[in-house]
Every structure is written in structure tokens, then in C-alpha cells.
């Protein structure tokens, strides 16, 4: 007889801190450690329920009176590029893709620093040093790749994406690119190429992280067709972005205990009798 037991991780909540997406608000995260032999299954299962990975932690927004952050993914089968996205793809047709194991390099860090200094000098990662960068890239207990894009003419590293592989898709954990190539729309190109990567691997989804209505930082995600949002415990095709609200209300979110109780955990095999 085969017996199975649920993976039973412990969940915690962070202390409130300034929200990086909506000015004047406080954010709070529900999180759990990603470790042990069942970590890949746990990551796959919780990612389908709106969680994201940061090194060996899985987290999901759990703010007291706001549920504006919605996990977003692209359905590969339903995606069709716009004219501007086709142009972005053509502008970068001299980039060569190379997927490697999650190992940090000096070239990656140099590009990362230039990206932060040029695009996010006042962001939360602005002070990240080379050791913290290496931890971000290398501390992963699951199936992860570093996807590099190199200019075939100059040989220069143009873009990088830290990418997790799920049982149903690929997740763009963090990407960065040459800030001097703004006209090439490299951020758009990286997403387009990950749609192609998922298509080649016969995986149905590309996970993009969170979309926040009204947030300029997140507006680009709504430009991709086939976008789905995790709302009310299920995935649904995105409607008109104007239909979604970032307004606060004291009853916006369920109590933490109810949120945890509603999480579906994977099962693992423990042997036979």
C-alpha cells in the first residue's frame, strides 16, 4: 500500500513596510521556506496560487486592506504579438540566446549594476553588492536557468533573465538589460523570447510576477495578449485594465489563518508497506 502525506510548510507574515508599487501604502507578505526534497513540487504548486520565489523563499502579497497585486501569466496558446512587439523582436534579431545553470558571473553583475544605475537608482535593489547578486542568482533549490542574450556583432552581453522552470511553464524571476539600448525594447524582447522558450518546451504559461492596476511600473504587462490574472483564488483572462481597482478597504483580504487554510499543498510519496 502506498501512503502519501501533504507537504506541511510553516507560513509567516512580514512586518508592514512601504509599498514599492503604490505610493503611501504599506505592504505585507505571506511567505514560507523553500527547502527539502519536495521543494520543486511545493514551488510548482504554490506558484499556481499566486506565489513568487526569491532565493529559497516563496511569498505572496498579504496586505491588510489592499489586494491590488495580482499574479500574472501569459497563456502561450492565446498570445498574439502586436505590431510594436513584432518590431521589438526584429530590432533584437542579432541577439543570441544561451541558457546556463544558475551561476553568477562578473559580466552579469557589471550589466546588472549598469541597469540599476540607469533605470532603478532609487529602488530597493540599488545597494545590492556582488555577493548579494550572486546569492540572488545561485541560491535556488529548484530547476532554474540563467538566460543570457549576447550581441552577435559585438559579443557584448545585452540582457539576462533569471528563469525558473515549472511543470506548467517558465517564470521570469528577474531580468535586466543594457540601459543604453532603450530603443531596442529589450524588456519586451525578453518576454517575447520566453514565450518562444515555453512554446519550444511545450509548456503552456509564462509567469510574469505581479500586475498592479494604476502602477506605471507594471503597465507593460497589460500590453501582452493572452494575459491571465490570479483573482479570488483562480486564474481568469484579463479584462480591460480599467476594470480593476487598487482602492483599499478594511475587508479586502481574508484573515491570515483563512488564507493559509485555503492554500492547496502538494502530496509526496513516503514509501510502501
Category of 248 on φ-ψ map: left (φ > 0), alpha (ψ -120 to 50) or beta = beta
> Which string of DSSP letters, residue by residue, matches 196-251?
HHHHHTT--EEEEEEE-TT-GGGGGGGGSTTEEEEETTEEEE---GGG------TT
pLDDT of residue 269: 56
pLDDT digits (tens, 9 = 90+) for 94-112: 999 999 999 999 999 999 9
Under the banding of pLDDT at 50, 70 and 90, the label for residue 23 is confident
Q: What percent of the chain has pLDDT over 90?
A: 73
Longest dimension (CA), the chain: 63
Q: Residue written as cell 555577493?
A: 131
pLDDT of residue 71: 96
Give SS3 for 80: coil
Q: Residue written as cell 512586518?
A: 15
Residues 6 or more apart whose CB falls under 8 angstroms from that of 243 comprise: none
pLDDT of residue 122: 67
Under the banding of pLDDT at 50, 70 and 90, the label for residue 113 is very high
Domains of the chain: 2-69+246-272 (no CATH), 73-243 (3.40.630.30)
C-alpha cell at 112: 546588472
Distance CA 230, CA 232 (A): 7
Is residue 168 predicted with pLDDT exceeding 60?
yes
The pTM of the full predicted model, rounded to 2 decimals, is: 0.91
Give SS3 for 71: strand
Under the banding of pLDDT at 50, 70 and 90, the label for residue 123 is low
Residues 6 or more apart whose CB falls under 8 angstroms from that of 178 comprise: 111, 114, 115, 156, 157, 158, 159, 186
Note the Cα 189 to chain centre separation in Å: 16
Amino acid at each position: 500500500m502506498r501512503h502519501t502525506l501533504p507537504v506541511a510548510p510553516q507560513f509567516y507574515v512580514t512586518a508592514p513596510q512601504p509599498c514599492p508599487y503604490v505610493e503611501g501604502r504599506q505592504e505585507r507578505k505571506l511567505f514560507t521556506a523553500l527547502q527539502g526534497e519536495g521543494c520543486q513540487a511545493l514551488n510548482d504548486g504554490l506558484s499556481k496560487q499566486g506565489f513568487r520565489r526569491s532565493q529559497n523563499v516563496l511569498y505572496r502579497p498579504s496586505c491588510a486592506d489592499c489586494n491590488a497585486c495580482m499574479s500574472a501569466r501569459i497563456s502561450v496558446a492565446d498570445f498574439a504579438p502586436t505590431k510594436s512587439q513584432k518590431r521589438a523582436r526584429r530590432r533584437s534579431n542579432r541577439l543570441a540566446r544561451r541558457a546556463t545553470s544558475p551561476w553568477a558571473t562578473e559580466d552579469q553583475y557589471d550589466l546588472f549594476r549598469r541597469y540599476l544605475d540607469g533605470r532603478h537608482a532609487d529602488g530597493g535593489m540599488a545597494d545590492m553588492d556582488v555577493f548579494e547578486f550572486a546569492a540572488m542568482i545561485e541560491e535556488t533549490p529548484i530547476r532554474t536557468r540563467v538566460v543570457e542574450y549576447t550581441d552577435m556583432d559585438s559579443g557584448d552581453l545585452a540582457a539576462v533573465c533569471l528563469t525558473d522552470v515549472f511543470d506548467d511553464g517558465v517564470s521570469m524571476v528577474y531580468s535586466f538589460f543594457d540601459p543604453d539600448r532603450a530603443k531596442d525594447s529589450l524588456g519586451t524582447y525578453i518576454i517575447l523570447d520566453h514565450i518562444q522558450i515555453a512554446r519550444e518546451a511545450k509548456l503552456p504559461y509564462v509567469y510574469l510576477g505581479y500586475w498592479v492596476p494604476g502602477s506605471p511600473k507594471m503597465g507593460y504587462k497589460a500590453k501582452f495578449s493572452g494575459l491571465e490574472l490570479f483573482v479570488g483564488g483562480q486564474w481568469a483572462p484579463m479584462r480591460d485594465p480599467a476594470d480593476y481597482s487598487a482602492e483599499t478597504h478594511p475587508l479586502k483580504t481574508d484573515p491570515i489563518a483563512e488564507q493559509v487554510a485555503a492554500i492547496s499543498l502538494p502530496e509526496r510519496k513516503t514509501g510502501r508497506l
